[in-house]
């Protein structure tokens, strides 16, 4: 084969690489100097090198799936490509969301009746089952089923998804079997199985969203890890409930079954529409009035559920009081039955100790677990940065070794490259030549333009134009100094105070002169706030002005006020719409956060807190959806009573 002869361009590229290596060695900071050179390449390497998901890298994929499919199998390679394709994950998340919507718009009817909408939703359910089945099938082929460290069923979220899928397929098969037997297809029983009971497992499908959102997984894992200390808190709460239930049995047993009855008339009907306990004449509780008499025989408050007659109802009543749901009503009922001496001590101590102290221990445990997870995440991030730094240093060392070897392999091209570089350096630089040529071309273009363009060019070079630019810069410096002065600061604070005072002075049936004063003051304040905004825009420039979040907020408030004034004067919008726009005036109060540093820091902390608990709020919303759907499946269509029936 003929010997390869390097071209002059290749010699120059070799020489440039060698010079770069020498310069990096002489500077002594080769790591930092080369980070910027290889940053793009390294980012790409890290992008493909970071572990993304289960089975996202070759190291986490088992060599065989289902005992027969190797990594080189075209079917398995296609499944891996589909599963690790980002749009595939998005499609699955959208399918889960659509399934949640379909479950939410399902309308349960009494006696398992149905309508056309529910029938269509049942047909759509088969489509969701097909999509989830295909997803599970692809993941099983890609990652294996069970007998590998990173198999599909080794992941807890995948196991939950697989159980939901199996139950859904089983319920669909049973439903088709009941149809074949001639039974009711909507919730009927076939072969001894209740299909509707199996359908209740559908409500767990929203939990699949957790497997697709990493931040939700972190929050839920923290809650799961906190279960052991939370179990200790639960035992303490149970102990407190038992203690107070036993004390309530000793003090209040049978005290809430007396109420006021009429002396004449129906004996077993209380005299009051909303009866409450009473005390006999010898007691210190509530005495019956208007010719009624206190007699036993009443079921008690809440149809006899709230009482201390036995241990079970006593625990239920104590639990209600600990949750602070209607505990004052129980206190007042007990005071009506016994007097004011003893019940308040029992219930107030129960709420203070049980609710304020014991239940708040749950928040402390959760806070501690979240702190541990945050520290672990920070440690993982620091370790990842250290690994990336070490990888960069290794890459740098490899690049320097490669360049040094290249210098040793082809030393004869060094002199040739230097000789070719000298005439290039002695001549005019390429950039300067190009700039001169550009100026000549620009000059030719200006000479070839029409008269108006030449006149504009001359005006831009005239003395008046230079004077105008100088005066404009002077004015902007003065305006910038004025905007940042203390006088301007206190002036804006005073205007915000006047705006707040004007809004607070509005009241019902106010005189006409006050309305006119408020309208005039609002227009004047709007003009002043508009002038403030324009002054800031002129002094800082539009780009620098809109960089600040507070400036954008001010611009929104001013534009809303201008729009409100235009609509009020032209009478285009209805009074209700104008009232809604007037609420924008209230936002002017928040302008003070721009100038009050402590308040600004507090608002920033609140916003950061909202961002940090966004995942927790989303998880809470997810559980609300799940239990709402579960209530629809279990109790939908059950609460249908005759409104004329006395209960």
pLDDT tens, 241-291? 999 999 999 999 988 888 888 876 556 677 777 888 998 866 678 888 887
Q: Which domain holds residue 389?
A: 8-43+370-414
Question: 85 is written with which tokens?
Answer: 């394709």
Lowest mean pLDDT among 225-239, 376-390, 446-460, 543-557: 446-460
Task: Find, among 173, 177, 176, 171, the residue nearest to 194 by Cα.
Answer: 171
Lowest mean pLDDT among 236-240, 447-451, 593-597: 447-451
pLDDT of 247:
95
414 or 169, which is more confident?
169
Question: 189 is written with which tokens?
Answer: 């029983």
The Cα–Cα gap between 459 and 392 comes to: 55
Same domain? 354 vs 375: no
* pLDDT score of 97 more than 80: yes
pLDDT of 420:
46
pLDDT in tens, 593-614: 766 777 777 877 777 777 667 8
User: Could you identify the residue written with the tokens 């915000």?
Assistant: 496
Same domain? 191 vs 71: yes
Mean pLDDT for 390-412 is 74
pLDDT of 578:
61
pLDDT of 10:
43
Residue 53 belongs to some domain of the structure: no
**Number of H-type helices and E-type strands within the chain:** 28, 6
The Cα–Cα gap between 598 and 553 comes to: 18
pLDDT band of 377, cuts 50, 70, 90: confident
Q: Give the E-state strand segments of 106-219 in sequence order.
A: 189-190, 193-194
pLDDT of 409:
66
Same domain? 204 vs 307: no
Task: Find, among 260, 518, 229, 477, the residue nearest to 367 by Cα.
Answer: 229
Same domain? 517 vs 482: yes
Which one-letter DSSP state was computed for residue 50? S
pLDDT of 346:
95
475-478: Cβ within 8 A, 24+ apart: 475/538, 476/538, 476/539
Mean pLDDT for 320-337 is 92
Q: Which residues are annotated as a binding site for Ca(2+)?
A: 325
pLDDT of 327:
93
Mean of pLDDT over the chain = 76
The Cα–Cα gap between 198 and 391 comes to: 53
Same domain? 354 vs 376: no
Q: Which residues are annotated as a binding site?
A: 325
Q: How many domains does the chain have?
A: 4
* pLDDT score of 18 more than 90: no
* pLDDT score of 215 more than 80: no
Alpha helices in 484-548 (DSSP H): 486-504, 512-540, 542-547
Same domain? 261 vs 352: yes
Q: How far is CA 297 from the centre of its chain?
A: 54
Residue 93 belongs to some domain of the structure: yes
Task: Provide the 3-class DSSP secondary structure of residue 320.
Answer: helix
Same domain? 508 vs 403: no
Radius of gyration of the chain (CA): 39
* pLDDT score of 431 more than 50: no
Q: Which helix (H) or strand (E) holds 413?
A: helix 412-426
- What is the biggest distance separating any 2 CA atoms in the chain, rounded to whole angstroms? 127
* pLDDT score of 183 more than 50: no
The Cα–Cα gap between 370 and 613 comes to: 11
Residue 219 belongs to some domain of the structure: no
Percentage of residues of the chain with pLDDT beyond 70: 74
- φ/ψ of residue 596, rounded to 5: -100, 105
Residue 365 belongs to some domain of the structure: no
The Cα–Cα gap between 75 and 69 comes to: 8
| Class of residue 227 by CB neighbours under 10 A (exposed 0-12, middle 13-18, buried 19+) | exposed
Cβ contact 543:484 at 8 Å? no
pLDDT of 452:
57
- φ/ψ of residue 218, rounded to 5: -65, -45
Residue 461 belongs to some domain of the structure: no
Mean pLDDT for 180-199 is 54
pLDDT of 458:
60
Cβ contact 393:31 at 8 Å? yes
Mean pLDDT for 234-247 is 93
Question: 540 is written with which tokens?
Answer: 């800082």
pLDDT band of 586, cuts 50, 70, 90: confident
Cβ contact 34:108 at 8 Å? no
pLDDT of 251:
92
Task: Find, among 224, 278, 211, the residue nearest to 53 by Cα.
Answer: 211
pLDDT in tens, 138-159: 998 888 888 877 788 888 788 8
The 10 Å Cβ neighbour count of residue 190 is 20
* pLDDT score of 5 more than 60: no
Q: How far is CA 129 from the centre of its chain?
A: 28
61-64: Cβ within 8 A, 24+ apart: 61/142, 61/143, 61/150, 62/143, 62/144, 62/148, 62/149, 62/150, 62/151, 64/144
pLDDT of 460:
57
The Cα–Cα gap between 131 and 276 comes to: 58
* pLDDT score of 515 more than 80: yes
* pLDDT score of 456 more than 70: no
Same domain? 19 vs 134: no
Residue 467 belongs to some domain of the structure: no
Same domain? 140 vs 275: no
Q: Which helix (H) or strand (E) holds 59?
A: none
Percentage of residues of the chain with pLDDT beyond 90: 13
Question: 420 is written with which tokens?
Answer: 């070719």
* pLDDT score of 435 more than 70: no
* pLDDT score of 501 more than 60: yes
Mean pLDDT for 286-301 is 85
Same domain? 265 vs 404: no
Q: CA distances (Å), 550 to each of 141, 491, 518, in order? A: 53, 17, 26
Q: What is the 3-state secondary structure (H, E, C) of 555-610?
A: HHHHHHHHHHHHHHHHCCCCHHHHHHHHHHHHHHHHHHHHHCHHHHHHHHHHHHHH
CATH number for 131: 1.20.120.350
Q: How far is CA 550 from the centre of its chain?
A: 23
What count of residues does the chain have? Answer: 647
Same domain? 90 vs 189: yes
Same domain? 589 vs 521: yes
Residue 449 belongs to some domain of the structure: no
Q: b vs e for 126-148, b when ≥16 Cβ sit within 10 Å of the residue's Cβ? A: eebbebbeebbebbbbbbbbeeb
Residue 283 belongs to some domain of the structure: yes
CATH number for 326: 1.10.287
645 or 602, which is more confident?
602
Which one-letter DSSP state was computed for residue 270? B
* pLDDT score of 350 more than 90: yes
Alpha helices in 253-351 (DSSP H): 301-304, 311-322, 327-338, 343-350
Question: 392 is written with which tokens?
Answer: 């960069």
* pLDDT score of 551 more than 60: yes
pLDDT of 590:
74
* pLDDT score of 446 more than 50: no
- Whole-model pTM over 0.75: no
């Amino acid at each position: 084969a003929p010997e390869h002869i390097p071209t002059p361009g290749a010699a120059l590229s070799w020489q440039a690489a060698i010079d770069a290596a020498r310069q990096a060695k002489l500077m002594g900071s080769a790591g930092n100097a080369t980070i910027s050179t290889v940053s793009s390449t390294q980012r790409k390497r890290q992008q493909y090198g970071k572990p993304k998901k289960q089975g996202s890298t070759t190291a986490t994929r088992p060599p065989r799936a289902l005992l027969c499919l190797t990594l080189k199998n075209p079917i398995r390679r296609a499944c891996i490509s589909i599963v690790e394709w980002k749009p595939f994950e998005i499609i699955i998340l959208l399918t889960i969301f659509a399934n949640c919507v379909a479950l939410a718009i399902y309308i349960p009817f009494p006696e398992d009746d149905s309508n056309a909408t529910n029938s269509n939703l049942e047909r759509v359910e088969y489509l969701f089952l097909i999509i989830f089945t295909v997803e599970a099938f692809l993941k099983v082929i890609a990652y294996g089923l069970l007998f590998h460290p990173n198999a599909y069923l080794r992941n807890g979220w995948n196991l939950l998804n697989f159980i939901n899928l199996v139950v859904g397929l089983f319920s669909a098969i049973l439903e088709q079997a009941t149809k074949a037997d001639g039974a009711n297809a909507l919730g009927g029983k076939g072969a001894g199985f209740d299909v509707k009971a199996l359908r209740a497992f559908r409500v767990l499908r929203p939990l699949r969203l957790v497997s697709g959102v990493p931040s939700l997984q972190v929050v839920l894992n923290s809650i799961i890890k906190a279960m052991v200390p939370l179990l200790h808190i639960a035992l303490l709460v149970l102990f407190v409930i038992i203690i107070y239930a036993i004390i309530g049995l000793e003090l209040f047993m049978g005290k809430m079954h007396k109420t006021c009855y009429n002396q004449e008339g129906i004996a077993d009907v209380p005299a009051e529409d909303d009866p409450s306990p009473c005390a006999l004449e010898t007691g210190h509780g509530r005495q019956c009035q208007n010719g009624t008499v206190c007699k036993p025989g009443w079921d008690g408050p809440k149809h006899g559920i709230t009482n201390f007659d036995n241990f079970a109802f006593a625990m239920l009543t104590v639990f209600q009081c600990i949750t602070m749901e209607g505990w004052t009503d129980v206190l007042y009922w007990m005071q009506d039955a016994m007097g004011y001496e003893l019940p308040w001590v029992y219930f107030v101590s129960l709420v203070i100790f049980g609710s304020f102290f014991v239940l708040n221990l749950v928040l402390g445990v959760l806070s501690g677990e979240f702190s541990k997870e945050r520290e672990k995440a920070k440690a993982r991030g620091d370790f990842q940065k250290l690994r990336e730094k070490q990888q960069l240093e290794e890459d740098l060392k490899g690049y320097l070794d490669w360049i040094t070897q290249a210098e040793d392999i082809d030393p004869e091209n060094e002199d040739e490259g230097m000789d070719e570089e000298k005439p290039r350096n002695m001549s005019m630089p390429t950039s300067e030549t190009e700039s001169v040529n550009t100026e000549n071309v620009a000059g030719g273009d200006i000479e070839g333009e029409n008269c108006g363009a030449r006149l504009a060019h001359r005006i831009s070079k005239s003395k008046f134009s230079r004077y105008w630019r100088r005066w404009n810069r002077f004015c902007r410096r003065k305006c910038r100094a004025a905007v940042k002065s203390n006088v301007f600061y206190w002036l804006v604070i005073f205007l915000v105070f006047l705006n707040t005072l004007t809004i607070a002075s509005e009241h019902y049936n106010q005189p006409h002169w006050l309305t006119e004063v408020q309208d005039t003051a609002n227009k004047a304040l709007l003009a002043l706030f508009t002038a403030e905004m324009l002054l800031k825009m002129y002094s800082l420039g539009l780009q620098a002005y809109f960089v600040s979040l507070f400036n954008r907020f001010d611009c929104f408030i001013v534009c809303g006020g201008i729009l409100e004034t235009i609509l009020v004067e032209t009478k285009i919008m209805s009074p209700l719409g104008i009232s809604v726009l007037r609420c924008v005036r209230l936002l002017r109060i928040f302008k003070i956060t721009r100038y009050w540093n402590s308040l600004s820091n507090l608002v920033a902390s609140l916003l950061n807190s909202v961002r940090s608990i966004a995942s927790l709020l989303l998880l809470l919303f997810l559980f609300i959806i799940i239990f709402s759907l579960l209530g629809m499946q279990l109790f939908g269509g059950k609460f249908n009573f005759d409104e004329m029936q006395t209960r």
